[in-house]
Amino acid sequence: MSSRGRSRAVKAPASVVSSVSVVSVVSESNVVVESVPESVPSTQGTPTFGKSDSDWDIAAPAAAKSVTESVTNSVTNSVTESAESVASVAESDPDVLKEYKSFDEMELPEELLRGVYASGFERPSDIQTKAIIPMKEGRDVLAQAPSGTGKTAMFLIGGFTRIDISRNEVQMVVISPTRELADQTGNVAKALGTFMGLRYHLATGGVGVDTDLEKLGRGSTAIPHLLVVTPGRFYDLLTRKAVKPATIRVLVLDEADQLLDAKFKEQIQTIMSEPFIWPASTQVALVSATMIPAIAATAKTLLVRNPVTILREADEVSLEGIRQFCIKLDREDQKLMTLCDLSDHLTIKQCTIFVNTRAKAEWLMEQMRRQGFDLDCIHGDMDLKERKRRMDSFRAGKIRVLIATDLLARGIDVQQISLVINYELPVSRENYIHRIGRSGRFGRKGASINLLDAREVRIQAEIEEFYGKKVEDLPMDLDIY
Ligand code: AMP
C-alpha cells in the first residue's frame, strides 16, 4: 500500500497479495470519461424493441409485455432474494454445452483472430468458450460469469464477427453504466479490432455532444462501426437521429443487472421503446457477473432471437481465487486507525478501498493523507477532468491506493490490484462480489479485507451464507503469509 508521505512500500503478506504480472492490452484513450448519466424522460410508450408485438410474442411470450412494465415489475426486492431463488433461475441450454476450446476452432475472421492473439489471449476463458459462437450466430445471449473472466472480450469478439467493415455505419453498440467502464471497453475494442480496421467511438455524458455528432454525421466518411456509450448519451444520440437503430446489428448491455435496475431502468426502457424503431434483427447481449432473479426475468424478455442463457449459481460467483478476510471492530470510529495500521504492514502492488458515499471517500482521503499516506479518491461528484486524471494515474500505477465509491465496483480492470479493502460493506450484496472482483483479475491471486463494526458483522454473515463462502478473521501474525 502507499506508505506515509513517501513511496516506501510496507511489507506484504505474500500469499494474500502476491505479485502479479501485467499483460496490458489497453492503450491510452484521449476521450474524457466522466460521471453520472444524464436523465432522460420516462416513456409510457409501447416497446418497439424487435419492431412489432408479434416478434415478442413468437419468440418469448413474456416479451409481449411492454418493456416498461417488465422492467418496473421486476426491480423490487433486489437485495432480499434468497440464494435458493437465485439457484432457481439458473438454467442450462444444451446448446451452450458446446464449448470451443480454442480461438482457432471458432473460425473467426482472420483479422479479428490476429487482434485476439495480439492482445495476448492464447485460449478462450470459460465464458468465451461458450458465448462467442452464439453471438457469432446472431443469437441473443444472457451471459453471467464471474468478475475478471473475460466477459468484455467475449462480447466484443462475438459482436465483431457481425460487423461488416465495408459499411460506413454504426453496427454495434455497447451500453456501459459508467464512463470509466465505457472508456476501458473502448480500449479493449481498439486492441481487438485493430487489424480489422474497426472504427470505434466513445460517447459519454458530461462532455459536449458536438464531437459525437461530427463523428456520426451524415457527411462523415469514417462513421464508427462500434459505439461505446453511457445510457443518457445514447438516448440523446438516438433522439437527435445521429444513431439509427436500423443499422445496429448488435446491442450489448454491459453490467446488465445494473442497467436494468433502479438507477438506469427508465433510461434503458426509454431507449428500447418508442419512438425508436428497433429492427427485429438487432441481436441483444446482456452481460454481468451478478444476475438477481428479478432482473434475470426482465432480461429474458429482451432476448428473443433463439436465445442462449448462461446463468450461475450464487456460490459459483463467489470468486474462489480471492482470499477474503475481515477485521471485526466494536465501533466504526476504530476503522481509521486500523486501516492506517494495516497499511503499515502490507506491501501490495495496488489497492482499492471502497466506501459507500462520496463524502466518506473525501473524508477518508483527507484523514489518510494527514497520516502521511499518498493516495487519491474517486467518485461521481468530482470534476470530470480530475476524475479522469486520477483514474489514469491509478491505471498507470502512479498512485497505488485509490479510495472509491461503487462507481468503480463494476467491471474496472486494473490487473495490478491485488487487494480490495471494504472500509464499509456495500449496501448491495451484489456489489460485494463486484468490489472484491477488482482484485484477482483473470485468475490472478487477490485478497479482500472487510473492516467491520458490530452491525456489519451481521451483514457479513448474510453475505457469507448467500455466497456459501467463509470470510476469515485476518490473522494477527501477518508473517505467516
Ligand atoms: P474482463 O472480465 O472482461 O474485465 O477481463 C478480465 C481480464 O482478463 C482483462 O484484463 C482481459 O484482458 C483478460 N482476458 C480476457 N480474455 C482473456 C483470454 N482469453 N486470455 C487471457 N486474458 C484474457
* 6 in a structural domain: no
pTM surpassing 0.95? no
With a cut of 90, say whether residue 98 has pLDDT above it.
no
Q: State the DSSP code for 350.
A: E
- Find the residues whose C-beta lies inside 6 A of ligand 1: 25, 121, 123-125, 128, 148-153, 413, 415, 441-442
Cis peptide before 231 (omega within 30 of 0): no
Q: What percent of the chain has pLDDT over 90?
A: 62
**CA of 145, closest atom in ligand 1:** 2
467 & 352 share domain: yes
- 405 and 389 in contact (C-beta within 8 Å)? no
Measured between alpha carbons, how far is 193 from 380 in angstroms, rounded to an integer? 30
Task: Say what the pLDDT of residue 30 is.
Answer: 25
Residue with CA at minimum distance from ligand 1 atom 20? 121
The tens digit of pLDDT for each residue in 106-150 reads 999 999 999 999 999 999 999 999 999 999 999 999 999 988 999
**CA of 121, closest atom in ligand 1:** 20
Measured between alpha carbons, how far is 24 from 187 in angstroms, rounded to an integer? 11
- Residue 440, sorted as left (phi over 0), alpha (psi -120 to 50) or beta, turns out to be left
Measured between alpha carbons, how far is 413 from 438 in angstroms, rounded to an integer? 7
With a cut of 60, say whether residue 85 has pLDDT above it.
no
Closest C-alpha among 9, 85, 46, 141 to residue 429:
85
Helices (H), 8-125: 53-59, 67-73, 83-89, 110-118
- Would you tell me the crossing angle of helices 151-160 and 110-118 to the nearest 10 degrees? 160
Ligand 1: centre distance to CA 380 (Å):
26
* 4 in a structural domain: no
The tens digit of pLDDT for each residue in 186-212 reads 999 999 999 999 999 999 988 889 999
306 & 219 share domain: yes
**CA of 149, closest atom in ligand 1:** 2
The tens digit of pLDDT for each residue in 357-379 reads 999 999 999 999 999 999 999 99
- 401 and 1 in contact (C-beta within 8 Å)? yes
The tens digit of pLDDT for each residue in 208-257 reads 899 999 999 888 999 999 999 999 999 999 999 999 999 999 999 999 99
Which of 316, 350, 371 is where one domain is finished?
A: 316
Other beta carbons within 10 Å of 321 = 16
Residue with CA at minimum distance from ligand 1 atom 21? 121
| Residues in CB range of 141: below 8 A, 6 or more apart | 131, 134, 135, 155, 158, 284, 285, 286, 287, 303, 307, 308, 309, 310
Ligand 1: centre distance to CA 148 (Å):
6
The residue to which cell 435496475 is assigned: 261
Whole-number mean pLDDT of the chain?
81
Measured between alpha carbons, how far is 320 from 467 in angstroms, rounded to an integer? 11
Task: Say what the pLDDT of residue 316 is.
Answer: 74
Task: Say what the pLDDT of residue 348 is.
Answer: 80
Structural domains in the chain (count): 2
161 & 67 share domain: yes
* 66 in a structural domain: yes
Closest C-alpha among 456, 411, 392 to residue 402:
392
Measured between alpha carbons, how far is 456 from 426 in angstroms, rounded to an integer? 10
391 & 375 share domain: yes
**CA of 148, closest atom in ligand 1:** 2
Other beta carbons within 10 Å of 269 = 25
Residue with CA at minimum distance from ligand 1 atom 14? 150
Instruction: Provide the domain limits for residue 464.
Output: 14-26+318-473
Cβ-in-10-Å burial (0-12, 13-18, 19+) of 166 comes to exposed
| Dihedral over Cα of 355, 356, 357, 360: its sign | negative
- 433 and 285 in contact (C-beta within 8 Å)? no
Q: 326 has which bridge partners? A: 450, 473
Q: What is the mean pLDDT of residues 403-432?
A: 94
Closest C-alpha among 247, 174, 233, 240 to residue 203:
233
398 & 468 share domain: yes
H-run or E-run covering 12: none
Residue to substitute in 117, 132, 152, 416 for testing ligand 1 pocket (most ligand atoms within 8 angstroms of CB) = 152
- 226 and 201 in contact (C-beta within 8 Å)? yes
Which of 290, 316, 342 is where one domain is finished?
A: 316
Q: What percent of the chain has pLDDT over 70?
A: 78
210 & 81 share domain: yes
The tens digit of pLDDT for each residue in 38-84 reads 344 444 333 345 433 222 222 222 232 333 333 333 332 332 233 33
* 335 in a structural domain: yes
312 & 396 share domain: no
Q: How far is CA 302 from the centre of its chain?
A: 19
Angle at 61 (CA atoms; ends 57, 66), nearest 5 degrees: 75
Ligand 1: centre distance to CA 452 (Å):
32
Residue with CA at minimum distance from ligand 1 atom 5? 150
Nine cell digits for residue 14 = 505474500
* 480 in a structural domain: no
Q: What is the 3-state secondary structure (H, E, C) of 284-339?
A: EEEEECCCCHHHHHHHHHCCCCCCEEECCCHHHCCCCCEEEEEEECCCHHHHHHHH
Check which CATH number belongs to the domain holding 351 and give it. 3.40.50.300
Ligand 1: centre distance to CA 149 (Å):
6
Residue with CA at minimum distance from ligand 1 atom 6? 148
Task: Say what the pLDDT of residue 253 is.
Answer: 97
Other beta carbons within 10 Å of 78 = 17
Strands across the sheet with 401-404, in order? 376-378, 401-404, 350-354, 417-422, 446-452, 322-328, 472-473
Higher-scoring residue by pLDDT: 180, 24 = 180
Residue to substitute in 125, 156, 434 for testing ligand 1 pocket (most ligand atoms within 8 angstroms of CB) = 125
* 5 in a structural domain: no
Ligand 1: centre distance to CA 188 (Å):
9
The tens digit of pLDDT for each residue in 263-293 reads 898 889 899 887 899 999 999 999 999 988 8
φ, ψ for residue 200, nearest 5 deg: -130, 160
311 & 394 share domain: no
Which of 316, 344, 360 is where one domain is finished?
A: 316
